[in-house]
Structure 1
Amino acid sequence: MVKIAIAGGSGDLGREILDALVATGKHEILILSRNDTPTFALAPGVTWVKANYDDANQLAEILRGVDTVISVIVVHTDPDNRAQKNLIDAAVRAGVRRLAPSEWITSTVLPHMPWYAGKVEIRKYLEDINKDKKVLEYTLFQPGLFLNYLTYPHKSAKHIVQLELPISFAHRRALMVEGSDEAKITLTTAEDLANVVARAVEYEGEWPRVGGVRGTELTLGQLLAIGERVRGAPFHIERLDAEDLKAGKIKSSWMPMPEHHAISPEELEKLRPTFIGGMILGISAGHLSVSDEWNRLLPDYKFTQAEEFLAAAWRGKLDEMGL
């Protein structure tokens, strides 16, 4: 049995990871939250703890006796990375053995996706902590893009919020940079990522610093071909100029609306062109392709493959545009 603390464990990805850990029936789990009381029913072995992320001393008291800390703190809502830095400092003071910072996407997040800049800063913070000697073992869980997003608006994960992306199976449309058909993308289901985290907690060897989790690796051309097979019709593909996108100009007949509970409607409306442009540039540049460290460390785990998953998810679904 391992004692685990999940910071941000009441969020959508936190809940996916929590479920996978609870399913093992092996661990004592603390959910660290800013809320006073649980926002959902707690399973046996799970304890809700109100945490003050501005107080590293209080966090250290909470973390005493904890073996592994998993952070699912939303990076762009953590000014100056204060909450995560305090969490890391508290973990060191409390003698925590392992920590997974809030990564959960890819190793390459700049320059096209600046809203993830906090992840880069936290990587440097962890490197500095261990620069003289290893103080804290950590891994950067990087699964690429959640495959579940490609079933939007149909739910395909227990907790992950669906997000409309520039590649839309629902609308049979895609926005991409000219000449990017061979760019690679990694697609991993939320369930597979959560299961890998649950196995990593029990892994007896040293965690790799970079922890790629590779469900399916495809080129954009291969992904679009899967889309056309799964949806039974051609996709309308618009190839955009990279310089326009960098300037926040989306010169297309359609633009997705990536609504998310962590972003207010007002903030979304203001950031939408920058976010969509950055996603198109990042995807088209292959920045959502990740390595496979955890695949190699857990060779018996069978990952869900993209075409099989998407075919099952879209079977019998009406076209969202009525085409």
Structure 2
Amino acid sequence: MVHVAVAGGTGHVGRAIVQGLIDSQEHQVYVFTRKPTSVFDHLPAVNIIVISYDGQDEIQNVLDKHEIEVVLSTVSPAGSAAFDAQVRLIRACSNSESVKRFAPSEYLIDLEREEEYQPFMPMLTFQRNIVKELRSHPNLEWTLFHNGYFMDYFGQPWAPTTMPSEVPFVDIEACQATIPGSGDDLAVWTHTTDVAKFVSRAISMKPGTWKEHSWIIGDKASLHEILRAAEKARGTKFRVAYDSVEKLKGGEVTPIPGNKAHAALYSTPEFDAYPLVLSMFAGIGTAIVSGHLDVPESESLNAEFPDIKTIKVVEFIEECWTGKQP
């Protein structure tokens, strides 16, 4: 069994990946956390290691002590403190005698490809610099897992998920939608449980076979397809606004009610996250109309593991929302 450590494993994406690793029964799973936690009390196979990311030597000692072979980081990429912690983690992995592979906290899309997203997504600088750091450690095999957008959000609040409240363009609960561009551009949507399945299988790939970019495709659908499924499930027509490419590139997006709940998760008395959330969706909308949330299946891990069956977004919406009347 491969010894796998999930840094930030008590977080939203981290918990989903840990569950998937345990379900596979193929790996010895460790969770790195800054403080004691009861999150995984129901999973006795998970080994909890309390660790500070402040010292590179301390991290390296822990890695070697437990003979960790693969490190998956799900530490939030937002902020300089998290960036510095992930850099120390990468350097400790590179110097470790046991670690052979590393995957940073990436997901979503290939964030290196377009500079136009930079004004809307402040975390891009940190994520791009993480990739630069990885390229400076040729002895460490690494990959960036990309899964498009998390499908889980379309099932909230009805479907179980570890993900926080978020509404990507189609607010099924409020029966409203904001559509970037024409609404016909395909995008990849992947449920966290499917992300975990592919990550688990990728860990078992032969050494030297990881590519820089590992795409995971749960399903492909346009926002028009998602809107039609949502309207059918709710039994009503939604109020729909369309944002032009020019508007999106200007950092603007038409708000929907779910944006407020999303922003509330990150707002403080001193900081209102609402404008940042709207700006972020302007960037994501730009990515969708640019085709950057679409990818050929031949270039994905789906081609490597065709036996993995994934959740389909239209079926997921119908299952979660049919009968939930406005």
Superposition TM-score, scaled by structure 2 size: 0.86
| CA drift at 1:175 | 1.4
Unmatched tracts of structure 2, length 5 or more: none
* Corresponding residue for residue 274 of structure 1: 279
Superposition TM-score, scaled by structure 1 size: 0.87
| CA drift at 1:282 | 3.1
Aligned mates of 1:275, 1:258 — CA distance in 2: 15
Residue 123 of structure 2 is aligned to residue 116 of structure 1: yes
| CA drift at 1:294 | 0.7
* Corresponding residue for residue 309 of structure 1: 316
| CA drift at 1:40 | 4.3
Aligned mates of 1:253, 1:193 — CA distance in 2: 27
Aligned mates of 1:116, 1:291 — CA distance in 2: 26
- Partner-residue secondary structure (3-state), 2:217: coil
Aligned mates of 1:261, 1:172 — CA distance in 2: 20
**Aligned amino acid, residue 236 of structure 2:** A
- Partner-residue secondary structure (3-state), 1:75: coil
Call closer, same or farther: CA 1:289–1:116 in 2, change over 3 Å. Answer: farther
Identical counterparts, % of pairs: 26
Larger mean CA deviation between 204-213 and 30-39 belongs to 30-39
- Partner-residue secondary structure (3-state), 2:31: strand
Task: Choose which of 148, 151, 156 in structure 1 pairs with 2:155.
Answer: 151
- Partner-residue secondary structure (3-state), 2:116: coil
| CA drift at 1:54 | 2.0
**Aligned amino acid, residue 176 of structure 1:** I
Task: Choose which of 177, 180, 193 in structure 2 pairs with 1:177.
Answer: 180
Residue 200 of structure 2 is aligned to residue 198 of structure 1: yes
* Corresponding residue for residue 75 of structure 1: 77
* Corresponding residue for residue 135 of structure 2: 127
CA RMSD of aligned residues (A): 2.5
1:5-64 deviation line (CA, Å, top 9, x unaligned): 110001121111111111233432221111145444162332221222121111111111
Call closer, same or farther: CA 1:80–1:18 in 2, change over 3 Å. Answer: closer
Call closer, same or farther: CA 1:74–1:261 in 2, change over 3 Å. Answer: farther
* Corresponding residue for residue 243 of structure 2: 240
**Aligned amino acid, residue 172 of structure 2:** F
Could you tell me whether the CA contact under 8 Å between 1:176 and 1:240 is conserved in 2? Answer: yes
Aligned mates of 1:17, 1:276 — CA distance in 2: 25
Aligned mates of 2:230, 2:248 — CA distance in 1: 24
Number of equivalences: 313
**Aligned amino acid, residue 164 of structure 2:** V
